Every structure is written in C-alpha cells, then in structure tokens.
C-alpha cells in the first residue's frame, strides 16, 4: 500500500469517527420514562369490604367477600361469593349475593356470575322486591341491570317468572322479557 492510499484511509476513518461524534452530539436526548409511580401489580385480598365509587366520587356499590384477586394488565377484579349492595336512586338500594363477581377497572361494569339473589327493601317511594336470576350484568353508572337467564320477580301480591330480565334502578322498573307467567294475589282494599 502506498503512502497516498494509507493517507486516504486514515482521512476517511477520521471523517467517519468525526461524523459519528457529530451525530451523537446533535441527537436529541432520550425521552424520559412516561411511567408515573410504581406499576400496579396483581394481588389478592381475604375477608374484605370494597366500597367502589363512580367517576364523580359518589358510591357505586359495596362488596363484602371472602376472596378477591386483581390481575395485572387489565386491572379488573375477580371476587368469590360476594355479598353486595348496589346503590339505587331515592335510596332504593339492592342487596344480594352471587357465586362470583367480576368488576371492571373503572367500576362501571359488574358481572354477577352464577346464581344471583337480590332484595330491595321498601322505601317511601318503592315497594319491596326480590329478584332471583343468574349471570346478571350491572351498569353502575347508568343504574341498570340485565340477565338473559330464567328469572323470578317477587313483589307484594305478585310472583312473576320469565326468561330474561331488565331493571332500571333510576325508575325502579323491573321487566321480564319472554315466556312470562305470573301469580297475582288480590290485595285487601282499605276503606
């Protein structure tokens, strides 16, 4: 290799190193980590009470149960044998049990899984009622509930059986969707 080729190779190597250093110097700094606080992990609770709130901070529902599991990733809750209270309009709250429950991360959706039994005590504005069904979905923000399973609705003077049930806790309405059969007992009128 002659002197001229050697000089050209050295100049090219120095130019490459200089270009690399210039690129490193002009490159913007790396973005900071977007994470705020520690990551949320999976966990379990035994014998707990959970008071869940809506987006605006009002109580949405309460769960008391022997076991809860929160899974990392979707932030949803899995609950065994919950005893629950779903807060309704005009203090007409529903109290009940189910075999299992699933709660969305934002508390807006509750799936009551397996056998579901619910009771609403009488208030000044509504009659007492019972609902016996399975696999019910509750939308806590809209105060609505639905099930596609066979359902029984009991109120003073009536027992209604059907398939599929809808409830609106704002208007206190209960509805069976199909194959409805009822037993109505006459009420004594006060004169």
Does residue 110 register a pLDDT over 90? yes
Q: Which domains does the chain have, with CATH numbers?
A: 43-184 (2.60.450.10)
Burial class (CB within 10 angstroms; exposed 0-12, middle 13-18, buried 19+) of 43: exposed
pLDDT tens-digit map of 116-155: 999 999 988 888 999 999 999 999 888 899 999 999 999 9
Query: Region 106-124: what's the mean pLDDT?
Result: 92
pLDDT number for residue 39:
54
pLDDT number for residue 38:
54
pTM of model > 0.85: no
Question: Which of 131, 141, 135 lies closest to 167 in space, CA to CA?
Answer: 131
pLDDT number for residue 55:
79
Confidence of residue 10 (pLDDT cuts 50, 70, 90): confident
Burial class (CB within 10 angstroms; exposed 0-12, middle 13-18, buried 19+) of 153: buried
Does residue 111 register a pLDDT over 90? yes
pLDDT tens-digit map of 14-69: 888 888 888 888 887 777 766 665 555 688 899 999 998 887 888 889 999 999 99
CA distance 64 to 51: 9
């Amino acid at each position: 290799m002659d002197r001229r080729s050697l000089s050209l190779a050295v100049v090219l190597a120095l130019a490459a190193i200089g270009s690399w250093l210039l690129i490193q110097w002009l490159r913007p700094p790396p973005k900071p980590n977007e994470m705020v606080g520690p990551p949320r992990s999976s966990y379990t609770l035994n014998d707990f009470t959970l008071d869940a709130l809506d987006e605006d901070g009002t109580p949405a529902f309460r769960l008391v149960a022997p076991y809860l599991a929160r899974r990392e990733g979707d932030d949803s809750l899995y609950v065994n044998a919950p005893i629950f209270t779903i807060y309704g309009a005009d203090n007409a709250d529903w109290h009940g049990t189910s075999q299992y429950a699933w709660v969305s991360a934002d508390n807006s959706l509750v799936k009551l899984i397996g056998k579901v039994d619910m009771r609403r005590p009488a208030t000044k504005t509504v009659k007492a009622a019972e609902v016996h069904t399975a696999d019910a979905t509750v939308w806590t923000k809209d105060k609505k509930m639905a099930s596609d399973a066979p359902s029984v609705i009991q109120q003073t003077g009536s027992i209604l059986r059907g398939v599929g049930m809808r409830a609106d806790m704002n208007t206190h309405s209960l509805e069976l969707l199909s194959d409805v059969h009822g037993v109505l007992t006459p009420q004594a009128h006060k004169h």
